[in-house]
């Protein structure tokens, strides 16, 4: 577990942490809401079926089947919710004074770590589409680079315009520091 | 027909135990990832603890419910088979 608040993977000398970026809290709220909905669903189904066919409760075989199916369903939903949470929570961008490090958990057995030197940044675009993103101020951030991975995309981050401006500023500072002309 | 060959309600519960085994293995792997790559933050710890608590409560409750059933109840009425075998033997005669 990462304990240091200013943790930077493979830290270079003089490098300073600017921000760790996670998806906007609304993404996590949506996960929790979907999870709660999926938890309530069998209750509604079972209530409806026992209301329509009360004799089912007296049938031991059907009751046993519904019990096993229901518990299996709940275990699956619980596990799936934690999995979705994990893929979002472990999807982190670390912005430092020299680099952007993207750590992405694609699945249980798939993890991608990519790095972008700030002086390689060519273009930064932020995008907010839709009612909720506009009201809650979240959206996508696109960074075009001259590196191997040409386009860095981070979806559903908080204040994408502000973050784009911060990265732009850091990019200019990095270009001055490394004496590289603006692209 | 030998009534021992007819599956009982336990068939469902063995299925549930299989799902439970998959759940435990995958949960451990996900928690490992959260502990290995996640930050030592209140939200991360809270999510892991809440998940373990809910899982424990759900599994305990499921065990109480499942053990309350009579596992020897057969899924099909053995009389159906005895009727069929009786009819077949009657036809042969």
Instruction: Find out whether B21 and B27 touch, Cβ atoms under 8 Å.
Output: no
pLDDT on residue A5: 66
pLDDT on residue B84: 62
Instruction: Find out whether B75 and B14 touch, Cβ atoms under 8 Å.
Output: no
Phi, psi angle pair for A85, to nearest 5°: -60, -45
Cβ separation A82–B30 shorter than 8 A: yes
Cα-Cα-Cα-Cα torsion B65, B70, B73, B75, nearest 10 degrees, comes to 10
Facing B16 at nearest CB: one of A60, A72, A90: A72
CA distance B53 to chain A (A): 11
Which residue's entry shows tokens 């049938």? A59
pTM of the full predicted structure? 0.81
Average pLDDT, chain A: 86
Assembly ipTM: 0.81
Instruction: Find out whether A120 and A93 touch, Cβ atoms under 8 Å.
Output: no
The pair of structure tokens assigned to A88 is: 């979002």
| Closest chain A residue to B19, measured at CA | A72
- For residue A179, is pLDDT > 70? no
Instruction: Find out whether A160 and A141 touch, Cβ atoms under 8 Å.
Output: yes
- Element at A27 (helix H, strand E): helix A25-52
Number of C-beta neighbours around residue B78 at 10 A: 14
Cβ separation B58–A74 shorter than 8 A: yes
* Per-residue pLDDT tens over the stretch B14-35: 999 999 999 999 999 999 999 9
* Per-residue pLDDT tens over the stretch A120-160: 888 899 999 999 999 999 999 999 887 666 688 889 999 99
């Amino acid at each position: 577990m990462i304990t240091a608040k200013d943790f930077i993977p493979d830290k270079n000398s003089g490098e300073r942490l600017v921000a760790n970026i996670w998806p906007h809290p609304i993404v996590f709220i949506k996960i929790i809401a979907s999870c709660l909905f999926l938890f309530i669903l069998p209750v509604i189904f079972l209530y409806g079926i026992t209301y329509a066919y009360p004799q089912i409760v007296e049938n031991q075989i059907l009751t046993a089947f519904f019990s096993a199916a229901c518990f299996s369903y709940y275990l699956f939903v619980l596990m799936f919710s934690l999995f979705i949470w994990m893929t979002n929570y472990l999807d982190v961008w670390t912005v430092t004074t020299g680099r952007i490090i993207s750590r992405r958990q694609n699945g249980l057995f798939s993890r991608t770590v990519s790095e972008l030197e700030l002086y390689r940044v060519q273009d930064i675009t932020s995008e907010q589409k839709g009612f909720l993103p506009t009201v809650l101020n979240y959206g996508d951030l696109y960074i075009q680079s001259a590196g191997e991975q040409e386009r860095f995309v981070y979806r559903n981050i908080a204040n994408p315009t502000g973050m784009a401006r911060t990265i732009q500023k850091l990019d200019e500072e990095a270009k001055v520091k490394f004496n590289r002309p603006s692209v | 027909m030998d009534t021992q060959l007819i599956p009982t309600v336990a068939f469902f519960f063995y299925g549930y135990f299989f799902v439970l085994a998959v759940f435990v293995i995958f949960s451990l792997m996900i928690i490992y990832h959260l502990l290995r790559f996640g930050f030592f933050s209140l939200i991360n710890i809270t999510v892991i603890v809440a998940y373990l608590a809910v899982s424990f409560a759900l599994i305990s409750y499921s065990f109480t419910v499942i053990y309350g059933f009579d596992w020897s109840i057969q899924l099909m009425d053995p009389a159906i088979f005895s009727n069929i075998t009786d009819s077949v033997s009657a036809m042969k005669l």
